A and B are shown apart, each in its own frame.
Chain A
Amino acid sequence: MSAQDLGRTATVTREEQHGEFETRYMRINVGPQHPSTHGVLRLVVDLDGEEIVGIKPQIGYLHTGFEKTMENRTYQQGVTYSNRMDYLHGFAHDLAYVLSVEKLMEARVPDRAQRIRVALNELNRIASHLVFIGTGLLDMGALTPFFYTMREREMLLDIFELVCGVRMNFGYFRVGGLYRDVPDEFLPAVEAFLGTFPKMIEQYERLFAKNDIFVNRLKNVGVLSRETALDWGLTGPSLRASGVPLDFRKAAPYSGYEDYDFDIPTYDAGDALSRMLIRVDEMRESLKIVRQAIGRMEPGPIRDPDRRISLPPRSELENSMEAVIFHFKLVTEGFHPPRGEAYVATESARGELGYYIVSDGGSMPYRVKIRVPSLINLQSLEPACLGGMFADMIVNIASLDPILGDVDK
């Protein structure tokens, strides 16, 4: 009996026993708990033998109600919440949130803070892509690259711990700048990383990029043409792997990105192989940006000195009554942006990320809508998997890089 016959007999209907032959597609439920390391994603797959004829992602198993919770916290407390969504590229969410609030409040962020923000953001992007490679290859059955990429990621997490105090889920960005200045060990640590990492990227490429098994497993699998990708709202590296050179760091620069010199890698094939390899190239570009950002760091303030946003320095509290009042109001209530709505589109490791913040003049946002890239990107799983084999579905999920915390908000 072939696999196809087994599939058909599994759904035998009553009519078949009486002589009429009816075939049906087999409906399989994958998840939400499954060996693939991408989180609690549930897929309902219709199979015609091994071929996928229908696939529907069922999500919401990690829904946390971030938006409603952030509407009940002050603006400064929102920074604690934002990086828990896309926990692999937490700084992207922090940056997008802080930029939207700063747009509402017309805060002026000093140069040094912008450079540090960009450097940390790009280092975090590298860390996120390292996990992508490690777990993507783990899904395909290769155990070794996981340990190699995690070794580099530990170096990056040490840098983050040096600056922010935590390895993941940072609370370092503030509206108007940063929490505190970087310690002296930051620059040597980053330069040590920049010195060793390019050789490591070459090591990864030697490990898998030309490996026959890897290439044959991914080539021409899950092809998303340019039109399909644009129609389904795909953004980020997966879109750039389908031939559209859209990167918000270049298209709508924010936080000083227009000053840095970097390329946007673009592939034309649109298959899973391009989506995997493009992130390796992106890591190289991120290294360039980090090098330039820390090269241009000048000593200076790291927060907007406006008293309505940032706490006054402690020395002033001894002399000025006004400073004490500002301090009191900022600590108890938080600041009040004027009424309005603001949105800034940024580029996270997964695509377009933006926070649409509606303010009513109070100290808590009235509405926070987070345009998460993974939720929209996950819709592209349908055109990528249809007509393909069931075993390729895992590869398609891995190459689209969804993070379920980001998807379910």
Chain B
Amino acid sequence: MSEIDLAAVTQATVDKLEPLGGVLKTFKDMVSVTVPRENIVEAVSIAKASGFEMLSDVFGIDYLTYPGHQGERFSVVYNMRNPEGNGRIFIRVDVGEGASLPTITGLFKAANFMEREVYDMFGVTFEGHPDLRRLLLPEDFDGHPHRKDFPLGETPTLFGEGRFLDPAAFRAGLIGADPGLTGWKGGAAKGAHSEQEFGQGAGMHGKESGKP
């Protein structure tokens, strides 16, 4: 597909998703459309019919500790591409704690393992999934590890002379996230460089970035 066709297909898809409540965001050559929860299956089938016929991935993001985030806690992203491989669209849904989403395994059989992994790691359930159970963790595991309030589970390091080192505190002190006794917070104040989220933010070189 040439560049012009691809841009046309992408634009057509975005236009078709707009009546469903789709909100467009772009970053360099990445296009993402956020749709409300009720319309997700229809949005994915519209994207499939408009040329993005292959599903690459379904995954979740937990925005609990993201600085300046308003809105629902989780975001489930559907990464779809066209058969030639050069076009890609991300369809996002924002869901809250304890919410569930309709499954898309009817459209793509490949979504089976992917949705199970989102359930396993975040706790987002999928209605209508043929076999929704844990994928990567033991069956009797408690909790959903990729949530931000689930600890990493680090074991403290014991040195030969009996001294204990807590890796998380050590790392926080090193990168300045934990000010410690001196109060120095380093440069790791989150979000210091750009105020825009998945948008055309200023790059590290100080110039304006990105074309849509």
Contacts and interface: CB of A to CB of B under 8 A. Distances in A.
Chains A and B touch (C-beta atoms under 8 A apart): yes
Interface of A: 56, 59-60, 63, 65, 67-69, 72, 74, 103, 105-107, 230-233, 244, 246-248, 250-252, 306, 308-309, 329, 332-343, 345, 352, 354, 356, 358, 360-364, 366-367, 369, 371, 375-376, 378-379, 408-409
Nearest to B77: A356
Given A68-B152, A338-B194, A339-B194, A332 B30 contact: no
B67 A371 contact: no
Given A72-B152, A332-B186, A361-B194, 6 more contacts: A233-B55, A233-B56, A233-B111, A342-B30, A345-B85, A375-B113
Given A333-B187, A339-B196, A369-B59, A231 B109 contact: yes
B108 A360 contact: no
A331 to B, nearest CB: 10
B146 A251 contact: no
Contacts of B86: 251-252
Interface string B16-52: 0000000000011010000000000000000000000
B56 A333 contact: no
A345 B85 CA distance: 9
B35 to A, nearest CB: 17
Contact of A336 (B67, B177, B187, B196): B187
Interface of chain B, helix or strand or loop or mixed?
Answer: loop
Contact of B53 (A107, A230, A335): A230
A378 B79 CA distance: 19
Given A338-B194, A342-B30, A352 B56 contact: yes
B173 to A, nearest CB: 10
A329 B53 CA distance: 45
A371 B61 contact: no
B71 to A, nearest CB: 15
20 contacts: A60-B136, A72-B152, A72-B168, A230-B54, A232-B109, A233-B54, A233-B55, A251-B85, A332-B175, A333-B174, A339-B196, A340-B194, A340-B199, A341-B198, A354-B57, A362-B177, A362-B190, A363-B187, A371-B79, A375-B117
A140 to B, nearest CB: 27
A84 B40 CA distance: 35
A361 B191 contact: yes
Interface of B: 27-28, 30, 53-57, 59, 61-62, 66-67, 77, 79, 81, 83-86, 88, 90, 108-114, 117, 131, 134-138, 145-146, 152, 168, 171, 174-177, 186-188, 190-199, 201-205, 209
A252 B85 CA distance: 6
A379 B30 contact: no
A44 to B, nearest CB: 12
A233 B194 contact: no
A376 B113 contact: yes
A343 B198 contact: no
A160 B209 CA distance: 36
B146 A103 contact: no
A87 B3 CA distance: 35
Q: Which of A251, A308, A329 has the most CB of B within 10 A?
A: A251
B83 A233 contact: no
A245 to B, nearest CB: 9
Contact of A308 (B146, B188, B204): B204
A249 B54 CA distance: 18
B79 A363 contact: no
A369 B171 contact: no
B175 A361 contact: no
Nearest to B134: A60
A251 B205 contact: no
Contacts of B136: 59-60, 63, 408-409
A72 B171 CA distance: 9
A64 to B, nearest CB: 10
Contacts of B175: 74, 332-334, 362-364
Chain A CB within 10 A, most for which of B30, B186, B204 = B204
Given A332-B174, A333-B186, A358-B61, A59 B204 contact: no
A345 B112 CA distance: 21
A20 B110 CA distance: 41
Contacts of B28: 103, 342
Contact of A329 (B66, B85, B187): B187
Contact of B108 (A59, A231, A329, A363): A231
